[in-house]
Structure 1
Amino acid sequence: MNIRMSLIAAAFMILAGCTTTTTDLLSVALDKQSPGQFEKIMVMAISDNEQVRTIVEQSLAGKIASTGTVALAASDYVPGHLASMDKETLHRHAEEAIRENGADAVLVTTLIDNSVRDQYTPPQVNQVAMPVVEPRFGNYVGMQYETVMMPGYFTSLQEVYIQTTLFDTATGHAVWKAQSKTINPVSLEDGVKNFSNVMVPRLESDGMLGGGN
């Protein structure tokens, strides 16, 4: 393999290694009249997939607990497929769990959309420095520039949109709401961890978590 082909191969390896999970907050709204500082939060993921529900709830609850706020996974108290329940049944089960555990807030996550789309990167032309040995000058190593063309390519982007809402159990009102987008989760666990690492610090900075205060 010549130097030029080696450079092209290395470039593609770098591109392949640059696919990382990222979560962006698209919007955040909070009730400025709410005192926040909730001490005990139940986390509820609305999903009919038991694995997804358990991983989401435990990840968020664990991250919230790390701030000093007590957090509970609703799957430990409200069994069943939440997404298939009618609203009245879901509310009844949630209220029973809240009364049992004394949670002063409920954090609810709902999947809005999960889609895959192709993104095209056009061809790129770069000037690459190439070492050149000049024996006439005592094996002096100089540099010359050659044009290397990177062909265009497609990459698939998975985009997961989630709405997260925090409810005050005393009033039943939503006091904090966010929409987020997680791109290219390597796995379910990886995507949920990345999501939790973005969502919980924002809840904390917005004064919704009372741990340690």
Structure 2
Amino acid sequence: MKRTILFSVITLLILSTSCAPTTQITATWKSEEAKSGYNSIYIAALTEDLQIRQNVEHEFASRLQNRNVSTTKSIDNLTPDFFDSGEPSKDKILEAIKSTSSEAIMTITLIDIEEEERYIPGGQVGPVFAPMGRFGYYGNFGGYFNHWYGAGWNQGYFTTDKKYFMETNLYDASTLELLWSAQSKTLNPSDIDSFSKEYVDAIKKELRKEGLVN
């Protein structure tokens, strides 16, 4: 009975840890000029990596559409051929953004990456109650050695944690004034897809909390 209860507790702890979000909002700021319930937002992930830009902007567009917010993705509005004639001026970019009639502009930027090495200690593993006597692995030195050397001792190792720090800003499309800003930290994202979903989910919750989207 005690073993069953212990196993259940351990299982719950593992599940709760594995399901815990890796993205955390670390700071937010909101202007007094910000209004409630923006209905149209222009989304711009400011990165040269087209895959990250596409994934993040698509995830934002999909999630905000569920909140009845129309969106325009920069990857659709500012296509690669937009830059064929060289680096466009700020006025030309703003003209392209304003042509979408968006109420607000959201920018997503990676501001820093930190790497931290940490040591994972090892230790003995294996059954608590070991068989003894002639027919257990205690019966001879070879069996005893093979058991504990091969399965019973787990040596420690080093691993590197990666922390990605993002900044998300919301601007008024008419005045270009900053309305809202959030900084977030993502720990060890497994891939671009999972990172995009967790990051966008965390930001969307803050936008709803602040009343910026319905």
TM-score computed with the length of structure 2 as normaliser: 0.70
Deviation at 1:153, TM superposition (A): 3.0
Aligned to 1:106: 105
Aligned to 2:179: 175
For structure 1, list consecutive stretches of 5 or more residues without a partner in the other structure. Answer: 1-13, 134-147
What is the CA deviation profile of residues 63-117 of structure 1, one whole-angstrom value per residue up to 9, with x for unaligned ones? 11111111121110112499xx97x82x324422332211000110111123433
**Distance in 1 (alpha carbons) for counterparts of 2:124 and 2:71:** 53
Aligned to 2:163: 159
**Distance in 2 (alpha carbons) for counterparts of 1:39 and 1:25:** 23
Given the superposition, is the C-alpha separation of residues 191 and 21 from structure 1 closer, same or farther in structure 2, using an over 3 Å criterion? Answer: farther
**Distance in 2 (alpha carbons) for counterparts of 1:174 and 1:111:** 18
| Greater fraction helix | 2
Match of residue 203, structure 1, among 190, 207, 211? 207
Q: Report the residue type matching 2:91 in the other structure.
A: R
Given the superposition, is the C-alpha separation of residues 22 and 156 from structure 1 closer, same or farther in structure 2, using an over 3 Å criterion? Answer: same
1:15-164 equivalences under 5 Å are: 18=18, 22-80=22-80, 89=89, 91-122=90-121, 129-130=128-129, 151-164=155-168
Aligned to 1:5: none
Task: Please tell me whether the aligned partners of residues 34 and 180 of structure 2 are also in contact (alpha carbons under 8 angstroms).
Answer: no
Q: How many residues align?
A: 177
**Distance in 2 (alpha carbons) for counterparts of 1:114 and 1:93:** 31
Deviation at 1:53, TM superposition (A): 1.1
**Distance in 2 (alpha carbons) for counterparts of 1:160 and 1:117:** 12
Aligned to 1:187: 191
Deviation at 1:132, TM superposition (A): 7.6
Deviation at 1:36, TM superposition (A): 3.3
* Percentage identity across paired residues of the two chains: 23
Deviation at 1:20, TM superposition (A): 7.3
Given the superposition, is the C-alpha separation of residues 117 and 56 from structure 1 closer, same or farther in structure 2, using an over 3 Å criterion? Answer: same
| Greater fraction strand | 1
What is the CA deviation profile of residues 141-199 of structure 1, one whole-angstrom value per residue up to 9, with x for unaligned ones? xxxxxxx8865432221211111000011221111101111111111111111101111
Task: Please tell me whether the aligned partners of residues 105 and 171 of structure 2 are also in contact (alpha carbons under 8 angstroms).
Answer: yes
For structure 2, list consecutive stretches of 5 or more residues without a partner in the other structure. Answer: 1-13, 133-151
RMSD value over aligned CA atoms?
3.2
TM-score computed with the length of structure 1 as normaliser: 0.70
Q: Report the residue type matching 1:184 in the other structure.
A: N
